[in-house]
Amino acid sequence: QIIKCKAAVMWEANKPFSIEEVEVAPPKAHEVRIKIMATGICRSDDHVVTGALVMPFPIILGHEAAGVVESVGQGVTSLKPGDKVIPLFVPQCGECNSCLSTKGNLCSKNDISTGAGLMPDGTTRFTCKGKAIHHFIGTSTFTEYTVVHETAVAKIDAAAPLEKVCLIGCGFSTGYGAAVQTAKVEPGSTCAVFGLGGVGLSVVMGCKASGASRIIAVDINSDKFVKAKELGATDCVNPKDFKKPIHEVLIEMTGGGVDYSFEVIGRTETMTAALACCQYNYGVSVIVGVPPAAQKITFDPMLLFSGRTWKGSVFGGWKSKDSVPKLVADYMKKKIVLDPLITHTLPFTKINEGFDLLRAGK
Active site residues: 42, 44, 47, 63, 170
* Planar angle of CA 307, 310, 315, nearest 5 degrees: 150
* Planar angle of CA 224, 330, 152, nearest 5 degrees: 90
- The sign of the CA dihedral 111, 115, 118, 121 is negative
CA-to-CA distance for 155 and 144, rounded, in angstroms? 18
Residue by residue, DSSP assigns 35-80 as EEEEE---HHHHHHHHTSS---SSB-----EEEEEEEE-TT--S--
The burial class, CB within 10 Å (0-12 / 13-18 / 19+), for 114 is: exposed
What does each C-alpha distance from 221 to 7, 217, 340 come to in angstroms? 32, 11, 18
* Planar angle of CA 84, 165, 203, nearest 5 degrees: 145
Instruction: Tell me: cis bond preceding 58? Omega within 30 of 0 counts.
Output: yes
CA-to-CA distance for 218 and 3, rounded, in angstroms? 46
